């Protein structure tokens, strides 16, 4: 995943054109023969797409509220650099490129002496959300900035203060001193559907107020390390410098902040991602009010429900979020949530994938009650959980030593009881550790050192418990295992 920030690494010009041609001249019209009939307009199927959109009114009205954000970073201490001909750095393939175009090199392009390098400069985009000068942009655009300048389309420039930034969502709030400034309208990302047109305005590679358009490719996308943002995926051309700029719907409402691209080259490759504006605006309101962002948590680890797991728990189809572990004494534990529950609704909202739960829960104010529906024992159970404030978690790794094994033929597992000292070291409530893995368990991803906690939601404490639970299962067995401090369900297909 490439995060756009500095417009200096690549320069390119993308020219996209639409050519609509019409043929004119003498045409022959075929008259219907006797016994034939022309197809009436009522008989023809309605076209799926009618014409192409015109974005000029949208850009004219809201383009002035889109700003260029210019950033100066604090000087960095750098070691002496080797210089080639004409001052080029042979270790930096872009050095001569930047020198010839007169562009500051983000990798450092100063002289051959050590000491403080010239301040790095970068730029991105942003948009004005209040007439008195509050601006939304990306946190990565202004991270480490010593000076921020905001430039409007009429070439007015303002020094900007960074009110706050939130790394989890990559949202930052700026403030400039102004009155009656042009602003955008905020829309509802929940109404977006794949296939709808959207427009981005920003400063790709420093080309201010560039307009690009495309369609929504998908909604509620989860990216690696970004479980708290349900990204909007589009095919809108977005490049370095677009970061922090608005994504508009066809009503001229901002529905997202352009934040990331997937790229193997550093430039646009057809996969762009925007932060939903409701997520960003919630962050803005908290940063302006208190200078920090509070998020909700309920103290569970969850995973997606595969077809095999749905079959194991008697669910009609793969959906929801499977609870792998519940923090002892945490909000979910106090509310009655158990490992093996499948969360199917949060405050009435249907849960299709596990990735939907963190963003929903994190958006609930700590101290509030949330209604959670879970699938347990082949029936829906309603629970009330008081949400706590999110804190960081740690992680450890567990392993097992040798010992006498007990082979579980159907699963392909060899397990043994954990010794009391081992249980204290690993900090587990489990009593069985995996010694060896073959067959179905190996294919499912079970590993030596995993600790077996349960089967299909039923705790197991002994080898006999494991045998009995596996025997009663159908063609798929859902093993609850502990690996490190994480607890996950692993579906093992036995073919029974």
Positions marked catalytic: 140, 170, 243
Give the pair of three-digit tokens for residue 207: 């080309």
Sign of CA dihedral 377, 378, 382, 386: positive
Among candidate residues 466, 455, 458, 457, the one with its CA nearest the CA of residue 417? 466
Coil/strand/helix, residue 440: helix
User: CA 176, CA 157: separation in Å to the nearest integer?
Assistant: 10
Strand 253-261 and strand 185-186: the pairing is parallel
Burial of 79: CB neighbours in 10 Å, binned 0-12, 13-18, 19+:
exposed
Task: Check: CB of residue 73 under 8 Å from CB of residue 119.
Answer: yes
CA within 13 Å, CB half, 354: 17
Q: Are the beta carbons of 257 and 242 closer than 8 angstroms?
A: no
Beta pairing class for 379-386 and 369-376: antiparallel
Joined tokens for residue 235: 């095919």
- Answer yes or no: are the C-beta atoms of 232 and 255 closer than 8 Å: yes
Annotate 129-160 with b (16+ C-beta within 10 A) or e (fewer).
beeebbbbbbbbbbbebeebbbbbeeeeebeb
Cα angle: 229, vertex 231, 235; to 5 degrees: 165
Contact call for residues 68 and 203 (beta carbons, < 8 A): yes
Q: Which residues contact 387 (CB under 8 A, 6 or more apart)?
A: 296, 297, 298, 331, 361, 364, 365, 366, 367, 368, 369, 370
3 state SS of 325: strand
């Amino acid at each position: 995943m490439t995060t756009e920030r500095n417009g200096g690494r690549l320069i390119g010009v993308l020219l996209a054109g639409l050519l609509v041609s019409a043929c004119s001249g003498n045409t022959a019209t075929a008259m219907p023969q006797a016994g034939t009939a022309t197809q009436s307009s009522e008989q023809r199927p309605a076209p799926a797409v009618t014409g192409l959109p015109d974005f000029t009114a949208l850009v004219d009205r809201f383009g002035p509220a889109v700003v260029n954000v210019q950033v100066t970073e604090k000087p960095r201490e750098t070691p002496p650099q080797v210089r080639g001909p004409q001052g080029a750095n042979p270790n930096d393939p872009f050095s001569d490129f930047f020198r010839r175009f007169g562009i500051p090199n983000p990798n450092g392009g100063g002289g051959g002496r050590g000491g403080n390098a010239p301040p790095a400069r970068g730029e991105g985009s942003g948009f004005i959300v209040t007439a008195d000068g509050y601006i939304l942009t990306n946190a990565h655009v202004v991270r480490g900035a010593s000076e921020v300048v905001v430039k409007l389309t009429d070439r007015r420039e303002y020094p900007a203060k960074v009110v706050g930034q939130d790394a989890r969502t990559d949202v930052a709030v700026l403030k400039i001193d102004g009155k009656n400034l042009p602003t955008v309208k905020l829309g509802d990302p929940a109404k977006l559907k794949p296939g709808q047109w959207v427009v981005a305005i920003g400063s790709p590679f420093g080309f201010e107020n560039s307009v690009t358009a495309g369609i929504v490719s998908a909604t509620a996308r989860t990216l690696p390390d970004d479980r708290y943002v349900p990204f909007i995926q589009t095919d809108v051309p977005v490049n370095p410098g677009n970061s922090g700029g608005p994504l508009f719907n066809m009503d001229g409402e901002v529905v997202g902040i352009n934040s990331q691209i997937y790229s193997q080259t550093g430039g646009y490759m057809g996969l762009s991602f925007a932060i939903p504006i409701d997520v960003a605006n919630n962050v803005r309101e908290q940063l302006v009010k208190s200078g920090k962002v509070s998020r909700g948590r309920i103290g569970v680890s969850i995973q997606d429900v595969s077809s095999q797991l749905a079959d194991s728990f008697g669910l009609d189809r793969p959906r929801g979020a499977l609870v792998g572990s519940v923090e002892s004494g945490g909000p979910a534990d106090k509310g009655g949530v158990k490992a093996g529950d499948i969360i199917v609704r949060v405050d009435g909202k249907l849960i299709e994938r596990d990735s939907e739960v963190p963003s929903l829960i994190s958006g609930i104010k700590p101290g509030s009650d949330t209604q959670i529906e879970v699938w347990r024992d082949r029936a829906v159970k309603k629970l009330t959980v008081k949400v706590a404030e999110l804190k960081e978690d740690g992680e450890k790794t567990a392993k097992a030593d040798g010992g006498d094994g007990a082979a579980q033929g159907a699963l392909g597992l060899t397990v043994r009881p954990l010794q009391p000292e081992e249980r204290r070291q690993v900090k587990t409530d489990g009593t069985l550790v995996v010694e060896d893995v073959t067959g179905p368990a190996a294919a499912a991803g079970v590993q030596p050192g995993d600790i077996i906690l349960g089967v299909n939601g039923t705790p197991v404490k002994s080898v006999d418990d494991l045998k009995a639970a596996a025997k009663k299962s159908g063609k798929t067995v859902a093993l609850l295992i502990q690996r490190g401090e994480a607890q996950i369900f692993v579906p093992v297909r036995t073919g029974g």
